[in-house]
């Protein structure tokens, strides 16, 4: 069997394995969310200010909230299996539409964050390890320590204060300039300008993490026997660092990056609120307070699918990086 068919089979197998995991997550989430007091009707009624009990009962009946929990769960599962995530009464829109709209925004933010954090983390870690115990190493280490220890929301606010309000380089919030109605290339530029500050804010923390990991990993690899062999073969230090040590040192960093994609969605809630980025994090935050369970469940489902898929991608990258890992 060739490597590519092996990988195809492996992907199929992993996706199949993902289905029961995702179903379990859906069921657990369903019960967890229903543990909390109150439902969407309570919130709607509270906001309206003058709802009679009869009207509330009627609303519940309309939303299907008067049914016993297991029945609600079965109905929900049936809908999920037919790819219908239900209706958000709060937003008066199908959940599918709502989520996929917002997902694009979050996906954009996450992708740019990962690229920035992993890319620069590796670069800085490499630099620190190569210039071990020099001022460059010290500056990088201190930088990593400070960004690691600074709260995200504060960084976000300071970014806005410095780069938006004082310097005026970037917009303060949102994803597009709504008043401008850009199209085509102008639209892309506009979105990228809006993307800069949230991305930097969200990636700083992870950047610090990967920098430290990469530095430690490089130093560990420098101590391995194969490095002595490479020197004994008469290779240049350049070759040893960039070809021999670097590839081995990348392995733990890639693993860690894969694990953290899930955590990124959580981290994005704060950043999205600070920058009013119209993403899933913001949506989840709002729907939690509106007791909009359908929407919340939908978001959870999407993020669990995302984690399953990203882990699969990381595993595949890993088996290209490390020939010792075999897919089976």
Partner 1 sequence: MTKKLLSINDLSILLPTGADRQYAVQDIDLELNAGETVCVVGESGSGKSLTARAVMGLLPAPHVRVGKGEIIFGGEDLTKVTYERLRELRGSEISMIFQEPMTALNPVMTIGDQIDEIFRYHVSMSPKERAEKALSLLVDVNLPDPEKIIDAYPHELSGGQRQRSMIAMALALGPKILIADEPTTALDVTTQAQILELINDMQKRLDTGVLFITHDFGVVADIADRVIVMQHGKIVETGTTKQVLQSPKHPYTKSLIAAIPRLKPRKARSRAAEVVLKTEGVCKSFGGGKSFFGFGKPNREVKAVQNVQIELRRGETLGVVGESGSGKSTLARCVIRLIDSDEGQIKLGDVDITKLSRSDLRPYRKRIQMVFQDPFASLNPRIRVGDIISQGPILQGEDKEDASKRAYELLDIVGLDRRSFDRFPHEFSGGQRQRIGIARALSLKPDILVADEPVSALDVSIQAQILELLDDIREQMDLSMLFITHDLRVAAQVCDYVAVMQYGKIVEMGPTAKLFKDPKDAYTKSLLAAVPGKDWHFGKLKP
> Where does this chain bind partner 1 (CB under 8 A)?
9-10, 12-13, 16-17, 224-226, 228-236, 239, 243-244, 247-248, 321-324, 328
CB of 204 to partner 1, least distance (A): 30
Name the residue nearer to partner 1 (CB basis): 35 or 232: 232
CB of 193 to partner 1, least distance (A): 40
Name the residue nearer to partner 1 (CB basis): 169 or 226: 226
- The strand pair at 93-94 and 87-88 is best described as antiparallel
Give the C-alpha separation, 216 to 317, whole Å: 21
Give the C-alpha separation, 271 to 142, whole Å: 24
What are the residues whose beta carbons fall under 8 Å from the beta carbon of 94, sequence distance 6 or more? 84, 85, 86, 87, 88
Name the residue nearer to partner 1 (CB basis): 115 or 132: 132
Give the C-alpha separation, 100 to 278, whole Å: 12
Name the residue nearer to partner 1 (CB basis): 180 or 228: 228
Give the C-alpha separation, 129 to 5, whole Å: 39
- DSSP-derived letter for residue 180 is G
CB of 11 to partner 1, least distance (A): 10
CB of 38 to partner 1, least distance (A): 42
- The encoded tokens of residue 276 equal 């009013």
Name the residue nearer to partner 1 (CB basis): 11 or 51: 11
Name the residue nearer to partner 1 (CB basis): 183 or 233: 233
CB of 218 to partner 1, least distance (A): 15
- DSSP-derived letter for residue 94 is E
CB of 122 to partner 1, least distance (A): 16
Q: Where are the alpha helices (DSSP H) in the chain?
A: 3-35, 40-48, 53-63, 69-81, 95-130, 135-149, 152-159, 185-222, 225-232, 237-239, 246-275, 280-289, 293-321
């Amino acid at each position: 069997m060739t490597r590519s068919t092996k990988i195809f089979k492996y992907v199929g197998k992993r996706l199949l394995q993902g289905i029961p995991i995702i179903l379990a997550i859906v069921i657990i989430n369903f019960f967890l969310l229903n543990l909390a007091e109150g439902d969407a009707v309570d919130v709607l009624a509270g906001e309206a200010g003058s709802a009679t009990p009869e009207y509330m009962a009627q609303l519940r009946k309309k939303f299907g909230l008067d049914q016993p929990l297991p029945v609600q769960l079965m109905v929900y599962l049936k809908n999920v299996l037919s790819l219908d995530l239900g209706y958000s009464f709060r937003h008066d829109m199908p959940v599918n539409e709502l989520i996929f709209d917002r997902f694009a925004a979050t996906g954009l933010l996450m992708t740019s964050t990962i690229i920035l954090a992993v890319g620069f983390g590796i670069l800085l870690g490499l630099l620190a390890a190569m210039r071990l115990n020099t001022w460059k190493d010290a500056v990088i280490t201190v930088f990593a320590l400070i960004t690691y220890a600074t709260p995200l929301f504060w960084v976000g606010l300071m970014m806005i204060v410095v780069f938006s309000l004082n310097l005026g380089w970037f917009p303060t919030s949102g994803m597009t300039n709504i008043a401008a109605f850009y199209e085509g290339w102008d639209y892309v530029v506009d979105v990228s300008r809006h993307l800069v500050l949230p991305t930097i804010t969200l990636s700083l923390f992870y950047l610090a993490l990967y920098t430290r990991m990469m530095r430690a990993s490089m130093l560990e690899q420098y101590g391995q026997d194969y490095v002595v062999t490479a020197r004994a073969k008469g290779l240049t230090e350049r070759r040893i660092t960039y070809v021999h040590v670097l590839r081995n040192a990348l392995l733990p960093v890639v693993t860690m990056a894969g694990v953290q994609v899930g955590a990124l969605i959580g981290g994005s809630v704060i950043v999205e609120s600070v920058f009013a980025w119209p993403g899933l994090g913001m949506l989840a935050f709002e729907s939690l307070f509106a007791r909009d369970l359908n929407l919340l469940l939908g978001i959870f489902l999407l993020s669990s699918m995302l984690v399953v898929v990203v882990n699969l991608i990381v595993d595949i990258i890993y088996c290209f990086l490390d020939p010792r890992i075999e897919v089976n």
